[in-house]
């Protein structure tokens, strides 16, 4: 099997530095991990330009040895770099810039967007001999990690683990770890992560279909594979406790937090549009997996402008990433994102999640303890249109109240008209209301309805404090600690 090719682009004035790096990479070449190529391999009398073109065409990784001489080489800038960038954008070629000497690389747009080595673009030349050798070793090891996926090695060893400072997912809501019927969607997320032509994927569905659960399951799988080459992983949910109609929609907290996490020294500087553009630059500097969960609170709900992002900073970020993004942005929302509709079919994919099939819905009901003949279970799924949240509520309700008997589903409250906006789930919740009438558990359900995510203990204690709130916590005022715990676990 032919080893993956590592193409080295450099100025001949930096040949001594190229030779030092080649020495380190040659260790990997002798082990059959890679094949090195630089222009010194061109034989006398050969068509040197054709040989360079051929080497670029078969390269898996391109190393750029950056200095002022490199950045002023007409051949490098006019021939090699355009071809390398083209292969990166169309075929996923990994470009690995190494800053050799101090130079004005920050003002070179195509270069400033890349993840540089040594860390933060620190010039290799400035270190002690020990530091230089350490840097070159680290570069060789990282290049090996990049190309190892093309070598037959175990899946779990392909990617370098990310440090905890490179991962921020605490702002995403937790979901049930059990996921049913989303195998195709999980496969598609894998495909778009590996496909450099897709910059954003939007998972669109109404509440309760399982968008966030799908993303959380995929992230768990990505975590097992060290996030498959991602250099940064950042997630944020825009669902907010106590959100009300007419409340000013803002992504200020998200943008400020994200800018600070990515290393912006002045996260509050600039207009909202400028902050959004600056955040996009930080995201694009490294191969970033960005999760934006529950975008709809910041989208216009009205028909004339439905789906348009109301926050200018977030709008700027999303449009910039749709235009160019070496990583992937995953958006979950109830509404199509109108601001990037002109990118759909090219760099943006819109994925509308379907409801559960009959077979998957039956499996979910059985998992929740519902019993009955298959034709009865299938009919129950169809009566609720395979709506994932409704299936969860129905299965749990039948298991608790009727020992899982699917035939007792006819005692569920009459179906409401607003199916799109959660009527199926409301139907089951109405039955809970009848079942728990005049019981403290009903007050607990109403209290939990004030939150759109797991509620913090302190917030619950505030609601329970005297005096009781009529119609909300009246039945809870005289509960002992033991009875409170029992009611919670019913």
DSSP 92-144: --EEEEEE-S---GGG-HHHHTS--BSGGG--GGGS-HHHHHHHHHHHHHHHH
Return the SS3 of 6. strand
Helix and strand numbers (H, E) in the chain are 19, 10
Q: Name the DSSP class of 77.
A: I
5-157 and 164-352 in the same fold: yes
Q: How far is CA 8 from CA 56, 88, 106, 402, 419, in A?
A: 9, 15, 21, 70, 59
Options 3.30.365.10, 3.30.70.260, 3.40.50.10140, 3.30.200.20; CATH of 5-157? 3.40.50.10140
Is pLDDT of 149 > 60?
A: no
Domain ranges of the chain: 5-157, 164-352, 436-490
* Structure-token pair, residue 480: 């002992």
pLDDT, position 367: 84
Q: Contact 6/36 with Cβ under 8 angstroms? A: yes
What is the rounded CA–CA span in Å between residue 370 and residue 372?
Answer: 7
How many CA within 13 A on the CB side of residue 345? 2
Q: What is the pLDDT of residues 310-351, one digit of tens each?
A: 999 999 999 999 999 999 999 999 889 999 999 998 999 999
| CATH code linked to domain 164-352 | 3.40.50.300
Alpha helix (H) ranges present in 148-210? 183-194
Contact indicator for 135, 142 with CB cutoff of 8 Å = no
Q: How far apart are CA 171 and CA 234, in angstroms?
A: 9
> Is pLDDT at 308 greater than 60 in this prediction?
yes
Return the pLDDT at 489: 59
- CA separation for the pair 209, 217 (Å, rounded): 14
How far is it, in rounded angstroms, from Cα 346 to Cα 260?
31
Residues 398/408, Cβ–Cβ less than 8 Å: yes
Which of the two residues, 301 and 1, has the higher pLDDT score? 301
- State pLDDT tens for residues 39-82: 887 776 677 788 888 889 988 889 999 999 999 999 999 999 99
Dihedral sign (CA 415, 416, 422, 428): negative
**Residues 330, 235 contacting (CB under 8 angstroms):** no
92: left (phi over 0), alpha (psi -120 to 50) or beta: left
In Å, the largest CA–CA distance within the chain is: 96
Instruction: Name the pLDDT band for 452 (thresholds 50, 70, 90).
Output: low
What pLDDT is stored for residue 23 in this prediction? 92
Indicate whether 115 pLDDT > 70: yes
SS3 (DSSP) at 30: helix
Torsion angle in degrees (nearest 10) through CA of 127, 132, 137, 138: 20
> Among 53, 229, 237, 267, which residue's Cα sits nearest to residue 147?
229
First vs last C-alpha separation in the chain: 61
Summarised one tens digit per residue, pLDDT across range 260-294 is: 999 988 888 999 999 999 999 999 988 899 999 99
Count other Cβ atoms within 10 Å, centred on residue 71: 18
Looking at the predicted structure, is the pLDDT value of residue 109 above 70? Answer: yes
pLDDT band at 158 (very low <50, low <70, confident <90, very high): low
Which tokens go with 180? 């049913």
Residues paired with 55 in a beta bridge? none
Which pLDDT score, from 0 to 100, does residue 425 have? 52
Residue found by looking up tokens 């400033």 in the block: 112
Whole-number percent of the chain with pLDDT over 70: 85
């Amino acid at each position: 099997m032919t080893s993956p090719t590592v193409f080295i682009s450099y100025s001949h004035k930096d040949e001594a530095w190229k030779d030092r790096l080649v020495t380190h990479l040659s260790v990997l070449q002798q082990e059959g991990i890679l094949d090195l190529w630089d222009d010194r391999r061109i034989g006398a009398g050969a068509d040197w330009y054709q040989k360079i073109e051929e080497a670029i065409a078969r390269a898996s990784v391109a190393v750029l040895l950056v200095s002022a001489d490199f950045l002023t080489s007409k051949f490098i800038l006019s021939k090699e770099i355009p071809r390398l960038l083209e292969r990166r954008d169309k075929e996923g070629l990994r470009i690995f810039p190494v800053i050799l000497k101090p130079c004005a690389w920050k003002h070179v747009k195509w270069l400033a967007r890349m993840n540089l080595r040594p860390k933060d673009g620190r010039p290799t030349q400035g270190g002690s001999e020990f530091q230089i050798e350490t840097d070159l070793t680290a570069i060789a090891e990282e290049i090996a990690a990049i190309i190892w996926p093309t070598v037959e090695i175990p899946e779990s060893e392909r990617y370098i683990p990310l440090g905890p400072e490179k991962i921020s997912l605490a702002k995403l809501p937790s979901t049930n770890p059990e996921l049913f019927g989303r195998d195709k969607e999980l496969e598609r997320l894998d495909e778009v992560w590996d496909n450099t032509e897709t910059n954003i994927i939007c998972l669109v569905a109404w509440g309760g279909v399982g968008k966030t659960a799908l993303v959380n399951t995929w992230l768990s799988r990505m975590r097992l594979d060290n996030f498959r080459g991602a250099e940064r992983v950042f997630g944020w949910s825009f669902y907010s406790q106590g959100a009300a109609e007419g409340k000013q929609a803002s992504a200020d907290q998200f943008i400020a937090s994200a800018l600070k996490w990515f290393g912006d020294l002045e996260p509050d500087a600039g207009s909202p549009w400028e902050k959004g553009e600056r955040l996009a630059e930080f995201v694009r500097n490294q191969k970033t997996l960005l999760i934006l969960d529950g975008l709809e609170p910041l989208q216009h709900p009205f028909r004339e402008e439905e789906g348009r992002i109301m926050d200018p900073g977030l709008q700027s970020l999303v449009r910039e990433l749709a235009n160019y993004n070496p990583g992937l942005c995953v958006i979950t929302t109830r509404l199509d994102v109108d601001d990037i509709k002109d990118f759909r079919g090219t760099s943006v994919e819109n994925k509308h999640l379907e409801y559960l099939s009959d077979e998957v819905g039956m499996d979910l009901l059985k998992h929740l303890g519902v019993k009955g003949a298959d034709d009865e279970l299938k009919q129950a799924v169809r009566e609720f249109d395979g709506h994932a949240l409704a299936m969860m509520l129905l299965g749990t309700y039948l298991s608790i109240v009727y020992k899982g008997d699917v035939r007792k589903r006819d005692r569920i409250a009459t179906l409401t008209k607003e199916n799109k906006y959660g009527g199926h789930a409301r139907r089951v919740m109405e039955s809970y209301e009848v079942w728990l009438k005049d019981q403290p558990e009903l007050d607990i359900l109403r209290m939990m309805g004030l939150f759109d995510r797991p509620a913090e203990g302190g917030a619950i204690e505030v609601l329970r404090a005297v005096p009781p709130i009529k119609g909300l916590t009246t039945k809870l005022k005289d509960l002992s600690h033991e009875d409170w715990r029992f009611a919670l676990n019913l």
